[in-house]
Amino acid sequence: MTKQEMHASVQAQLAIDLNCTVEDLNGEQDSIIFTQAKENPGRRPFPRGAQHFEMLTMGKAIIVSASPDILAIVKPALLGKDRDEAFSMPFIYGHGLYYLPDLDQMRAIDPPAGFDYELLEREDIPALCRLEGFEHAIGNSGDHPRPDVLAVTAKQGGQIAGMAGACLDCASMRQVGVDVLPAHRNRGLAAYLINRLTLEILHRGLIPCYGAAIANIASQRTARRAGYYPAWVCSYKGRFEGYELLPTC
């Protein structure tokens, strides 16, 4: 898989999720494209409420996907806004920066000394979910719509000190998360665990991705050290209290 092929595959998935086209995502103009949220076959199974709102950009064009009543609120408010103004509207919150592996630059990171490392498969995940302190790395087992399917652990003295996990976002993509216990931070462990898990996912012909909140600088730095580059920004929640919800057709 080349970097271009990976990018195209991710765009195809995002187009399904947002009910738009790849051409919309590739738009070169600073435009805002509005689409009605739909349960398209193959969309990633993130939970949606009756009043769904999501806004995403991969560069210039912005895609706004929402339920009809929310579109009736946000469309007139966003028309004519540039990208910075749009993402700063008072009804928008929950900004996330999403990363893809930089296949042109990614290399295996040397493991920090003093730890024992183990790659674990899906059948080993339920036992990991019972551990405290690793909620970002792992937590979806059983019949969860996005189950965790792969993990890398770092142990010291027989106890898990850090863990990276990957959940099944869709057929082609695995979202990576990581946790390192406070006593073991600032030693490069998080970047190594993400890097190793990412290379394993790529080896299986799948696409890893990594998400960080806009305000979480430490997580963003870790993503860069692990070999990722920022690919899109998504605001996945809205706060519409006080706005008039218009009846849907």
Domains of the chain in sequence order: 3-98+234-238 (no CATH), 116-226 (3.40.630.30)
37: exposed, middle or buried (Cβ count in 10 Å: 0-12, 13-18, 19+): buried
- Element housing 204 (H / E): none
Contact 11, 58 (CB under 8 A): yes
Q: Kindly report the pTM of this predicted structure.
A: 0.92
| Alpha-carbon distances, residue 53 vs 11, 32, 63, 234 (angstroms) | 19, 14, 11, 11
Going by C-alpha positions, the residue among 170, 129, 175 that lies closest to residue 153 is 129
Read off φ and ψ for residue 107, nearest 5 degrees: -135, 155
Q: Tens place of pLDDT for every residue, the chain, 249 residues?
A: 899 999 999 999 999 999 999 999 998 777 999 999 999 999 999 888 888 999 999 988 999 999 999 999 999 999 999 989 999 998 888 899 999 999 999 999 999 999 999 999 999 998 888 889 999 999 876 678 889 999 999 999 999 999 999 999 999 999 999 999 999 999 999 999 999 999 999 999 999 999 999 999 999 999 999 999 999 999 977 888 766 544 332
Beta bridge partners of 151: 120, 165
